[in-house]
Structure 1
Amino acid sequence: MSKVLVIGAGGVSSVAVHKMAQQIADGSGPFSDILLASRTLEKCESIALSVKKRTDVDISVEQLDADDVPATVALIEKSGPDLVVNLALPYQDLPIMDACLATKTDYLDTANYEPRDEAKFEYKWQWDYHERFKEAGIMALLGSGFDPGVTSVFTCWLKKHHFDRIDTLDILDCNGGDHGQHFATNFNPEINIREITAPARHWEDGQWVETPALSHKQAFDFEEVGEKNMYLMYHEEIESLKTHIPEIRRIRFWMTFGDAYLTHLEVLQNVGMTSIEEIEYQGKKIVPLQFLKAVLPEPASLGETTKGKTNIGVIATGVKNGEQKTVYVKNICSHEAAFQETGNQGVSYTTGVPAMIGSALMLSNKWRGDGVFNMEQFDPDPFMDMLNAHGLPWKVEQLDAPLDF
């Protein structure tokens, strides 16, 4: 049995800790003890109370500034976890990885590192840790969320069971939920808005193709949600998938947004509120986007009011036994069901459950290696089995033809 240190106390962390505690309660998984740490101790304590109420499992809590490497090292040395699960902000990936290296402790996260002062999303910084983690005899698993994460596992599973070769891959992320707010984001507002307003990029014929943010739109009919407008975006799993499955000729990522959301976002951009450049206000330096985050609803607070479903999946076209085929594998998640089980909305649930699954596979040695790895570098089957068993069942269908866009 294994002890985990979970860093971060947002909605994703809440879901992951609840799901780990469920396995402790029924004795079905590798988890034995959970320590939850965050800059805001009150958030940790709130999650601990919910976990106790729902599972009757006690978890420990600590206050931690994850930007402070010596403090993280001290907490790891004091608590002795078998795995550090980083569910904090992407800015903190490298400091936490440094602490794991210093203590020779395995590491897992759900999103790739990005610098605070530039909206730049790439794996280079974390991939550069591979040799050091390998020499230390420890493992880092990157991107064990839904996208990235499950979408990469879906792709590997399709390659293993349905294709000899995948030629094109489209990742479709639809949130059909309604939280009743004029404008709010379903995960960290700062990260969400930086991601959406960055230029779109997709991989095609061996090179990156860059287009202006939100300039490519397609309508798509999502099962159990309905027709939604989705927009071409850049997402980090494109980089890892094109690296580890280089046969794929074209990889695109699409995400849905409602018209009202985009109208609010356009206004906020026009008045400078989405900028990450420091400005001076009343003698102090502030970042407009960080101020906007402070006045927007906390994503973890949206669970009770969010209704509807998410639908996230991948559509692959390729060749099997000499014949072309197109296959779609997806998960549909209910916001209401996610809230009833864990007290969190579906976007947090679809990321927190895979974080738990990746942790369980590492701790049980079903996914193992020395160095830094992405999800698609491991056997997809045990992960796919656990999705079905832990609240994110998936379905697969063969389409009549490739996408016509």
Structure 2
Amino acid sequence: MSKVLIIGAGGVGSVAVHKCAQVPEVFTEIHLASRTKSKCDAIAKSVRERTGVDVATYAVDADNVAETVKLINAVKPDLLVNLALPYQDLPLMDACLETGVNYLDTANYEPPEEAKFEYKWQWAYQERFKEAGLMALLGSGFDPGVTNVFAAHAMKHHFDEIHVLDIIDCNAGDHGQAFATNFNPEINIREITQRGRYWERGEWVETDPLSWSMDYDFPEGIGHKKCYLMYHEELESLVMHIKGLKRARFWMTFGDQYLTHLRVLEGIGMTSIEPVEYNGQKIQPLKFLKAVLPEPGSLGPLTKGRTCIGNVMQGVKDCKEKKLYVYNICSHEAAYEEVGSQAISYTTGVPAMIGAMMMLTGKWKGEGVFHMEQFDPDPFMAALNKHGLPWQEVEL
């Protein structure tokens, strides 16, 4: 008997709840909470119609530790799955410590007043979780998440050392909108407009935002796409845990139309998180922009095409050079047909469910704060194939 409490009723939360309901032998009770209970109720209705499984729903302010503690004590879950915004990571970790509940999230904490993607705030919880005998699993999405597991899989089965790692994220889908983001616009735009950063020979090297690019020929007919170097949080833990890394980078594809809109919005200050005064009120331009952009959840029925996310890794095995590409391709249309969400939400929500399953079944266990690559990749890789994100690997 395993009881899970999921916080967050956006696209990723919706996918995770639908996928948990497909594995009733693990998730015997599913509880869903969000600031807006009506969003939880809509997800619960969809899950009941698709699977026949009932989901209990609640309203909670995830920034309010006391309120979350009260909910946890009422539900008494075995695991709290945080699929809210990254701003809420620390309050939810505090609530888990206070109530003695294990914790999982998909994105690292980010302070609301500064676009700063790093794990130092959550790593500071290591001793407290360890002393409490609790486990916190960080970044159980796709990137971070599956990309970390791909690296661990490659280390276990293909390399003695990985010297070069390139994580390449391609969304080859089209939603027909002039400008929209596939997940929370506020987080998405903060991520894209920050300075780039990569790991080279023991130190971090910074670049101007989106100033480095390369063309990559993606498999299975997706073809050539332009990819831009960005900083992504999984690099921070991978350089600590993957043996022999000399260079690690993260790349993401963007279309020309998207980048043109982004540059214009940035140029006129609409992507800023510095408050401005308007009609006697202080507002963040980016928060206003989020309010006028299409809701990511509305893109599900509109988006056609596929995503392709994977790791290109070079290293040595038995003193011989080797290059390996491990990747997943996910169809936007197939994801929408199965769970009512596009592939961006699907590729994050499915790994959140699988990470929760690893913890609840005891396949992954420990005391303290952990990253995905610190555990045996085999059961997670097998679950990806079984639950909708099949992977391929090819020697290059």
TM-score (norm: length of structure 2): 0.99
Q: Does 1:293 align with 2:287?
A: no
**Secondary structure in structure 1 of the residue aligned to 2:33:** strand
Cα deviation, 1:52-89, whole Å, max 9, x if unaligned, reads 01001000000011000000000000110000000000
Which position in structure 1 is the counterpart of 2:153? 157
RMSD: 0.6
Which position in structure 1 is the counterpart of 2:4? 4
Q: What is the rounded CA distance, in whole Å, between the counterparts of 2:82 and 2:242 in structure 1?
A: 26
Which position in structure 1 is the counterpart of 2:14? 14
Q: Which residue type is aligned with residue 78 of structure 2?
A: D
Q: What is the rounded CA distance, in whole Å, between the counterparts of 2:249 and 2:179 in structure 1?
A: 27
Cα deviation, 1:25-60, whole Å, max 9, x if unaligned, reads xx3xx1110110000111101100100010010000
Unaligned runs of 5+ in 1: 400-405
Q: What is the rounded CA distance, in whole Å, between the counterparts of 2:328 and 2:374 in structure 1?
A: 21
Q: Which residue type is aligned with residue 70 of structure 1?
A: A
Question: Structure 1 residue 226: deviation in Å?
Answer: 1.7
Q: Which residue type is aligned with residue 120 of structure 1?
A: K
Question: Structure 1 residue 101: deviation in Å?
Answer: 0.4
Which position in structure 2 is the counterpart of 1:146? 142
Which position in structure 1 is the counterpart of 2:370? 373
Q: What is the rounded CA distance, in whole Å, between the counterparts of 1:247 and 1:221 in structure 2?
A: 27
Q: Which residue type is aligned with residue 102 of structure 1?
A: E
Which position in structure 1 is the counterpart of 2:330? 333
Match of 2:196 among 193, 200, 204: 200
Q: What is the rounded CA distance, in whole Å, between the counterparts of 2:63 and 2:194 in structure 1?
A: 25
**Secondary structure in structure 2 of the residue aligned to 1:193:** helix
Q: Does 1:82 align with 2:78?
A: yes
Cα deviation, 1:303-357, whole Å, max 9, x if unaligned, reads 0000000000001000011100100000000000000000000000000000000
Which position in structure 2 is the counterpart of 1:342? 339
Q: What is the rounded CA distance, in whole Å, between the counterparts of 2:213 and 2:338 in structure 1?
A: 34
Q: Does 1:391 align with 2:393?
A: no
Q: What is the rounded CA distance, in whole Å, between the counterparts of 1:327 and 1:225 in structure 2?
A: 19
TM-score (norm: length of structure 1): 0.97
Q: Which residue type is aligned with residue 370 of structure 1?
A: E
Q: Which residue type is aligned with residue 180 of structure 1?
A: G
Question: Structure 1 residue 225: deviation in Å?
Answer: 1.6
Q: What is the rounded CA distance, in whole Å, between the counterparts of 2:243 and 2:198 in structure 1?
A: 14
Which position in structure 1 is the counterpart of 2:265? 268
Question: Structure 1 residue 247: deviation in Å?
Answer: 1.9
Cα deviation, 1:147-166, whole Å, max 9, x if unaligned, reads 00000000000010000111
Cα deviation, 1:347-384, whole Å, max 9, x if unaligned, reads 00000000000000000000000000000000000000
Q: Does 1:123 align with 2:119?
A: yes
Q: Is the 8 A contact 2:151 2:242 kept in 1?
A: no
**Secondary structure in structure 1 of the residue aligned to 2:379:** helix
Q: Is the 8 A contact 2:138 2:370 kept in 1?
A: yes
Q: Is the 8 A contact 2:155 2:242 kept in 1?
A: no
Q: What is the rounded CA distance, in whole Å, between the counterparts of 2:9 and 2:244 in structure 1?
A: 39
Q: Which residue type is aligned with residue 213 of structure 2?
A: K
**Secondary structure in structure 2 of the residue aligned to 1:385:** helix
Which position in structure 2 is the counterpart of 1:94? 90
Q: Does 1:106 align with 2:98?
A: no
Which position in structure 2 is the counterpart of 1:402? none
Q: Which residue type is aligned with residue 352 of structure 1?
A: G
Q: Which residue type is aligned with residue 6 of structure 1?
A: I
Q: Does 1:191 align with 2:177?
A: no
**Secondary structure in structure 2 of the residue aligned to 1:4:** strand
Q: Which residue type is aligned with residue 212 of structure 2?
A: H
Question: Structure 1 residue 205: deviation in Å?
Answer: 0.2
Which position in structure 2 is the counterpart of 1:403? none
Q: Does 1:354 align with 2:343?
A: no
Q: % of aligned pairs identical? A: 67
**Secondary structure in structure 2 of the residue aligned to 1:146:** coil
Q: Does 1:49 align with 2:45?
A: yes
Q: What is the rounded CA distance, in whole Å, between the counterparts of 2:231 and 2:14 in structure 1?
A: 27
Q: What is the rounded CA distance, in whole Å, between the counterparts of 1:247 and 1:101 in structure 2?
A: 35
Q: What is the rounded CA distance, in whole Å, between the counterparts of 1:270 and 1:331 in structure 2?
A: 35
Q: What is the rounded CA distance, in whole Å, between the counterparts of 1:245 and 1:222 in structure 2?
A: 25
Question: Structure 1 residue 246: deviation in Å?
Answer: 4.8
Cα deviation, 1:204-232, whole Å, max 9, x if unaligned, reads 10000000000001111112322111000
